[in-house]
Copies of this chain bind each other. A is one copy, B any other.
């Protein structure tokens, strides 16, 4: 892909991350920065890390040192309560930044688990703060990223607090679809990386309920569901499900 001098040097450039040539730069931290500014980011984001399916980038309680930008793959984040209950708080795809929860207490507050083999760019936070101290537009962009996370969370609260089960699943599918589009994938056809149980946890439902609603949507011709393969057949039908809750 990128330039490869010779032998041992083969892996190094491969793992060297360069924001300025990254296809996700319009979605990720570099969004809205000039060429010049992005090059300053390149200095900062110097390692990429492979994460195997099932592995964690960090766990709740781990000391916080870096943010992680998803380069490829798919993640979930989840919080675990003392009694063992496990709540999925988000699903994350390429271009999204994980780890923002760790800043407040210098420890991560949740786990971040890869749902498929993935790669993340490691962004040492101290250096990010340093650089954003220099580069004004990076500071600005970073604030937007954090704020976007807050707005996203409000959306989830809305979903959990005032939607019924069918609406939740419809909203979930539409949200995924939209995010896939932004990444150049099909809006209508995609592969769920998470289990029914993880979807349920995220949506505040039991896995059986999720499964039943998938079946119902399928009967109604809204989507075609084959295990983890989803095809949205009737977007407006799904949209119509929102808007008229209880």
Binding site for B on A (CB under 8 A): 79, 81-83, 85-89, 100-105, 109-110, 129, 132-133, 136, 139-140, 143-151, 153-158, 160-162, 201-204, 242-245
Contacts and interface: CB of A to CB of B under 8 A. Distances in A.
A59 B242 CA distance: 23
Contacts of A139: 129, 132-133, 139
Max count, chain B CB within 10 A of own CB: residue among A83, A153, A157, A242: A157
B245 A144 contact: no
Given A83-B245, A85-B245, A157-B87, A147 B201 contact: no
A238 to B, nearest CB: 15
B154 A104 contact: no
7 contacts: A101-B154, A104-B147, A109-B154, A143-B146, A153-B153, A157-B157, A162-B201
A136 B104 CA distance: 16
Interface of A is mostly: helix
Contacts of A86: 162
Given A82-B243, A148-B104, A244-B83, A157 B154 contact: no
A157 B145 CA distance: 20
Given A133-B139, A136-B133, A243-B83, A102 B158 contact: no
A144 B146 CA distance: 11
Nearest to A156: B157
Contact of A100 (B101, B110, B145, B150): B150
B201 A150 contact: no
A157 B104 contact: no
Contacts of A144: 103-104
Contact of A133 (B133, B151, B155): B133
Given A143-B146, A161-B204, A245-B83, A154 B89 contact: yes
